[in-house]
Amino acid sequence: MAGRVLRRAAKSVAAGVLHYSGARKAMAAYRRSQSGGRRILIVSYHRVVSDFTGELQRSIPGLLISQETFRRHLEEAHAAGFELASIGDAVDVMAGRRTAKKDLFVVTFDDGYRDVYRYAYPVLKQMGVPAITYLPTAFIDTDKRFNHDRLFHLLRRVQERRFQPDFATMPGPSIQLLGPILTGHKTVSAALDDFIGEHPTRVLTGIIDGLEQQLGGGADLVPEQGDVMNWDEVRRMARDGFEFGAHTLGHTVLTQEPTAVVEHEIVESKRTIEREVGVQVKDFAYCNGWYSDEIIRILSQNGFRSGVTTEDLPNRVGGDPFTLKRKVMWENFSLGMMGDYSSALTVCQFDDCFGVLGMSHPVLGHRQHALSPATDTNQVVIQGLVVPAATLSKVTPVEVVQVTEPAFATDARVAVPVDSPQVVLASDAALATEAAQPEELQ
């Protein structure tokens, strides 16, 4: 706890010093020259809420931002000299088809939460700021809730009731999720964050079903919050010029699925939006932020022009439009030492001061495509070899990824070209990596 407070204090103080000394501008200029002349900052939000403190009691923190802080983000971006641009503008500038007079700031939303329609849309419309929302289309116009929101809700009930689950009737890995929560070693959001990205959907739904049954069923086991837009709301936003991209049908982590499923999820989610809204869909967001060469191939063969990740790194002119880097934002990114809104901190986040200083650690989204049946949750893949996870001496779940391209070699955070497999903590980017370790990334 003391460490967290110190880290938050360190970032607050650093932000103030950088901001008022002018060093922040120098860092922005450094990033600009690294990016090929213009910075292209793509930010990702999930839920924009009217009452952040109230919502914090019942929702995954890393998905939330208050309407007021969201509005201030847009104002600060404008004041800091960014052009608030569309994803298409960003892709054109990166491809050299368009030159930008200013650095670009692109607003994106993942998952199509109804909060975005209620609280972000009016602000964007009033300020004339473009935005794109990525829709998992099988959820739109339904009262279904996402697995991550359902699990979070159930785990909080388990905690409140001091309930001891019977693991014998649940999927094997459930102990990895519930154990650290029951012993008080992890918060619910940290445990979920570590767990979700590492396990296929069937394990998550198995735990949800098991817990719902054991907790006795009932309406209060399904979260009220976390509802998604309906097609009328989507169409209303589209009529005002807001864009929509695909985010699979069922919020599916595609790197864990066979090619036929990947194709179906990509093509059908695109077609559904096009049919329902009457617009062309050319942009995609990877669930969990995870992608593979195979997924990119399928996207580019099916009329897409871009894919967004959750890799918190700079975009460069000439970079790959199917691995667009994004900064995942939430309320605490802008909270200073005393828990109040900090303008200096917000602008430092936009200008990537902490990245330049090596104070933040991006999680890379490139994964080996785990074709079924290699989705056994007790195994990991190292250079194509399937190894039982038990042989890896790590307590936390790890994902082994192959990093072959020295693409970020000039980045301060990855100073050395990497050509050997890297073991990285694979926290769940879809839940906002910050949810588990907010203090690290503030």
Shortest reach from residue 225's CB to Zn ion, in Å: 16
Task: Compute the chain's Rg from CA coordinates.
Answer: 21
Answer for the pair 353, 15: CB distance below 8 angstroms, yes or no.
yes
Burial of 349 by CB count in 10 Å (0-12 exposed, 13-18 middle, 19+ buried)?
buried
Burial of 415 by CB count in 10 Å (0-12 exposed, 13-18 middle, 19+ buried)?
exposed
The label of the residue with tokens 């501008």 reads 25
Shortest reach from residue 215's CB to Zn ion, in Å: 26
Shortest reach from residue 149's CB to Zn ion, in Å: 11
Contacting residues toward Zn ion, per CB under 5 A: 110-111, 430
* CB nearer Zn ion, residue 311 or residue 352: 311
Shortest reach from residue 139's CB to Zn ion, in Å: 10
Shortest reach from residue 39's CB to Zn ion, in Å: 25
**Helix then strand then coil, % of the chain, to nearest 5:** 45, 15, 40
Count other Cβ atoms within 10 Å, centred on residue 330.
Answer: 26
* CB nearer Zn ion, residue 35 or residue 433: 433
Task: Compute the distance between CA of residue 241 and CA of residue 125 in angstroms, rounded to an integer.
Answer: 9
Helix (H) or strand (E) run with residue 243 in it: strand 243-246
**Residue 426: which residues within 8 A CB-CB, separation 6 or more?**
197, 198, 363, 397, 398, 399, 401
Angle at 441 between CA 2 and CA 326, to 5 degrees: 170
* CB nearer Zn ion, residue 182 or residue 329: 329
* CB nearer Zn ion, residue 41 or residue 196: 196
Shortest reach from residue 429's CB to Zn ion, in Å: 9
* CB nearer Zn ion, residue 211 or residue 430: 430
Torsional sign, CA 40, 44, 50, 54: negative
* CB nearer Zn ion, residue 108 or residue 360: 108
Task: Compute the distance between CA of residue 57 and CA of residue 317 in angstroms, rounded to an integer.
Answer: 42
Which tokens is 203 given?
A: 């394990």
* CB nearer Zn ion, residue 44 or residue 332: 44
Task: Compute the distance between CA of residue 4 and CA of residue 337 in angstroms, rounded to an integer.
Answer: 11
Shortest reach from residue 304's CB to Zn ion, in Å: 17
* CB nearer Zn ion, residue 110 or residue 294: 110
Shortest reach from residue 423's CB to Zn ion, in Å: 25
